[in-house]
Structure 1
Amino acid sequence: MTSVSTRLVRLLNMVPYFQANPRITYAEAAADLGVTRKQLESDLNQLWMCGLPGYGPGDLIDFEFSDDTIAVTFTAGIDEPLRLTSPEATGLLMALRALVDVPGVVDPAAARSAIAKIESAAGAVSHPSAAAAEDEPAPAESQAAAAVREAVRTGHALTIEYYSASRDTMSTRVVDPIRVVLVNDHSYLEAWSREAEGVRLFRFDRIVDAAVLDEPAAAPEPALQGPPDTSLFDADPALPAATLRVAPEASWMFEYYPMRDARELPDGHFEAVMTYASEDWMARLVLGFGPEVTVVEPAELAERVRVAAHAALGAYADSE
C-alpha cells in the first residue's frame, strides 16, 4: 500500500527530477523513482492537473512527450520557494492548530514545529503571544495514538485494546491498518479486523492501548482500494432510530455516540436522532441518563423506558 504522504513526496520531487534529467525515457525514470511504468504514467497525469489558481493552459504544469521521453516545459512555479500571503499563512496556521487538537491525525510535535516556523516566516513572532507559542510544549499524545499512527505510517499490523460504547465492553483485536479518517471532529482508525473479517472504524479516544506488531499489515486489496466507509454515521433505513431530547447537562453524549440532525431547542435542550440495533441496549442507555435524556419517539421505546423506570423506582421503594 502506497500512502498519500509517500506519493505526495514523490510528486513534489518529480518536477525538479525531470528538469535535471531532460528527455529521460519512461523506463529510466521509472527505475530511478522506484515505480512501475504504469504508476509513473499515473503520477504524470496527476501532475498535469496541478498548478496555480486559474487552471488555464498557462497555469498548469506541462510536459512534452516525444519518442518515449519526458521533458518538463512549464513548472507552474513548483520549483520556486513557496511564499505565503498573510491570509494564506493565517488560514494555514488555523488549520494546523485545529489538527493539533485532534488526536492521531498528525504528530503534535511536528505540527507545533511547523506552526512556529510559519509564524516566524510570516513575521508573526513579533507579536508577544506568537513568540510564546513557539516555546509552548507540544500537546501530550497517548501511547496508543502514537502506536496507531506509527502502524499506519510503516504499514504494520496492530493489536488494540478497544472500548465499544454501544456494547459497554472491552475487547482485544488484531487489525491491519488502512488509513486514519476524520469524521465529525473525531479521528478514527480504518482497519481490517481479522476477528470480524471486515473493515471497521475504531475511534482514537476509545483505543485504550495499542502495540505495533512485527508483521506487515495484510488487509485485502479491495479494502485498500475502496474509499473510507463512514456509513455508520449515516441513516440506515434497515435499523430503527430514536429521537431523543437531551438536557444541556448531558450534551457531552454527542461526543461519544453517533447522532445526526442535532438541533438546539429554545429552552436550551437539544433534540437529535440516534440509530440503534438493539432496543434493549437503547433502553438501558436512556435509563442511565435519568431525567436528562428522554425518548420523543418511537412510542414503543418511550413506553419501554417508562415501564423500566417505574419498575426500578418500585424496587428501590420496596428495599427501604
Structure 2
Amino acid sequence: MSASRTERLLNLLLALLNTRVGLPRSVLREKVYRDSAANDVAFGRMFERDKVDLKQFGFEIETLVDPRSFGAEDPATTRYRIGKDSNRLPDVSLTPAECTVLLLAAQLWERAALGTAATNAVRKLQAAGGFTDVDLPSGVQPRIRPAGQAFDDVVAAMHGRQAVRFGYLAVSTGREEVRDVEPWGLGSRFGQWYLVGFDRGREAKRLFRLSRMTTAVSLVPGSSFEAPDGFNARAELASLNELPIQHAALDVDSDRLLALRKRAAHVEPAPGEDSRDRLVVDFRDPEVLAEELASYGPHVKVEGPAELRAAVVRRLQGAVNFDAEPPVPVAFPDSEKVPRARKRTSEDQLARMLQLVPFLVHHQGLHIQEVADHFGITRKALIDDLKILICSGLPEGYPDDLLDIQWENDHVYISEHLDLNRPVRFSEEEAAALLTGLEMLGDLPALAGMSEDGPGSALESVTLKLTGAAGQAGRLAGSVAGQSVAPEQSQAFATITQAIRDSQQLRLRYFSRQRDELTERDVDPLRLYSLDNTWYFEAYCHSKAGIRNFRLDRVEAVEANGRPASGTATAGQDFPARLFTPSDDDGLVLLQLTRQGAGLADDYYAERTAQLPDGGLLAEVRFGDAGWLPMFVAQHGGSARILAPESLRAEARTWLDAALSQYDDPSDRPAG
C-alpha cells in the first residue's frame, strides 16, 4: 500500500465516518478517488478493495439501499457510511494497580507476533486516555519467548483461519512426517508449547509439540476452516498427561559436567572407560534433555534409552550436515551496524495513524520526539505521518473539514480530529495477547499486595474490564493458553525482591555451567526477569566488578550479607533486560541461520543481519567466549552454523565430529 493509497484510505474513512445519511458512489469517486481512478471500472475495483482494507482495520461499512429499489445494490442510489461507534474501543478506566498488572501482561510477549499485538493494545488504551504511566514492581520483568518462528506462523494462520503444513517428528514412529493441520489453538503445558488442531491426513484432533516440528510452518494454499464453537486451548491441554519419568544412562568425562552430576540419581565407573563415569539421570522429555546433552558434545555419550540417544545424534548430525552445505554469498544491505528490525509497511503506517490522532487528543502539547519515541518510530517517520494527516479530511475540502494538527516549537497539538478521537477496538491478536498474559500472571509473587482489596483483586478487575472491552475480539484469547510464570525458586525470588526494595547486598553461592564450577560472590541485585519458565536476576557482581546475570535455578544459596547496596550500578534502561551485554572486545562471528533459527539473531543481539532467499538470515554476533560456540551450534542442531572466522568454524566442526564419532553404530544415525 503506497503513501497515496494510505492517504486515500484515510480520506475515505473520514468521509464515511462523518456522514449521517451516507454518501453515494458518485460523490466518493469525485471527492476521494478523483486522482486515483481513471474510469468507473477502476474506481469500482479500488472501492471494493478499500472496503475490505477498512474492515481489516476494524471499520464495518454500512450499505444503505433505496427502499424503492428491488433489493439490488443500485450504484445510482446506494449510499455508504460508517457508524460513529462502529468498532470503537469502549472507554476503559484503569487504576494505577490495574495499569501495572496490564503492563506486566503486555510485556510478557517478547518479540513474538503477540508481542507486537500487546504493544498496540496498550497504545490504544493510552490513546484513549485510560492508561496511567506506572513502574514495574521491584524491577520485575516476566517474559515469554514462544517457540520461535513457528509460534508466529501458527498465530497468523489461526487469525486467518487457514490450515498449516509442517514436517513433524512423530512420537510413535520416530520418523519425520508431513502434516496438514487446521490450527485451533496454541498452549503451553509442562514447559512445552503445543498446537491443538484437526489433522486432515488422519481426520482427527491431534496435539503437536512445536519443538518436534522439523520444518518451517507454511500455509496450505486455498484452505480455510472454522474452529469448534467454544474451543478453549487451556481445557484441551488440561487433559494432557505429563510424560513418565525415564532414566538416562550417560557416560561422562571424569571431573566434568557438574550440572549433570548434581542431578544424577546414581554414579559409578563407566564400564570399560577408565576416564569416564556412568551417570543415571531422571528425565521426562527426551527432546529437552537431548538439547542439553548435545551441547556437551564429546564430553558425554548417551548409552540409553534409544530415543534419547537418537535425539542427541540427530542434533549433532544436523549441525554437521548444515556445516557441510555450500557457502552462501555474504552481503549486508549497508555498512551500518544496526539491529534487525521488522520491515515497516504502509499498513503499519495507517494503523499507527488511527492510534496517533486519539493519542494526540488526550496528550496535547507533547514534544515531537516524545511522541515518536512512544510509537517506536523516528522523528522523520512521525513528521511524514503528520504531513499526511494534515492533508486529510472530508470530501467538501474546506479548511474546517481537514484534520487540524500543528507542531509549534516541536510541541504537537491537535484542534480538529474529525471523529478519530477514539481508537478502534482490539483486534483478536491484541485481545489474546492481553487476556492470555493476564491469565499467566495469576501466581506471580510480585502481584501480592498491589491492591488494598487483596493480592489478586487488581488482576481480577483488570481482566474483567479488558474482557468487556474486547467483546467478540476476545474469541482468539480462548485459543491461546500459557502457563504460570511464577518462579519455582520462590524463596530465592522473595529474598532477591526484598533486597532490591531495601537496596541491600546479597551473598550468593552460584553454579556456572559455562565454567563448570561453584563460586561465591557478593552482589547488588538490580532487577528480576524471566524467559519462559526460567528466572534470572541482574546484579552488580563485586568480585567481577561488573553487571552479571544469574539464573535462579543455579543459585545454591542466597542471603543478605548485612551490607547496603553500593550504588555502583543501576538497572539498565533497556527493555527487555539483556541476558548479556556484548562489548567491543568480544569476538565478531558471522552466522548463517535457517528460517527456524532466525530468532537467534535477536536472542544474541546481532549487530547486522541480512535476509536470505530461503527465509534464513546472515547475522553478525559478538561472543565473549569463543569456546562456547561449538556448544551453541550443537545445541541448535542444524539451525545455525559458523561462516567466519574460519578458525572458529574449523574448531566447531572438529568438536562436532568428535562428539558424533562416539556413535559409530549405523543404527544411531537418523534415517535418510
TM-score for both structures, normalised by structure 2 = 0.27
Structure with more helix by fraction: 1
Larger radius of gyration, structure 1 or 2? Answer: 2
Name the structure, 1 or 2, with higher relative contact order (CA <8 Å, separation 6+).
Answer: 2
TM-score for both structures, normalised by structure 1 = 0.49
